Amino acid sequence: MIWTLIGALAATLTMFSFIPQIARSLRTRSVKDVSPVTLFQLSSGVFLWMVYGIARRDPIIIGANLITFITLAILIFLYFKYKNNSVTGLAR
């Protein structure tokens, strides 16, 4: 029981860990502190964890990594949308 709760807490923290960065990027229309290499590397790792969860038929691994992957995809989208704002320091 305790391990299930620990796993659920870990999954929840991971799933929503990029929400503050997404909110900040939307608010400031800037991604100057976001590393695209980190985003792509982490997205690749999360995607592979999702594949692993599918292979193991583990809905918790699949769901947690799917949601994390979606939040990373949103942040990658925002990176490309706002990267020019970050270079000039100007928001639209």
**Would you write out the chain's pLDDT as a tens digit for each of its 92 residues?**
899 899 889 989 999 999 999 999 999 999 998 999 999 999 999 999 999 999 999 998 999 999 999 999 999 999 999 998 865 555 54
Every domain of the chain and the residues it spans: 2-88
- Report whether 51 contacts 62 (CB < 8 A): no
The pLDDT, as a whole number, for residue 28 is 94
29: left (phi > 0), else alpha (psi -120 to 50), else beta?
left
- How much is the pTM? 0.83
Amino acid at 23: A
The pLDDT, as a whole number, for residue 60 is 87
- According to CATH, the topology of domain 2-88 is Monooxygenase (1.20.1280)
CA distance 69 to 11: 12
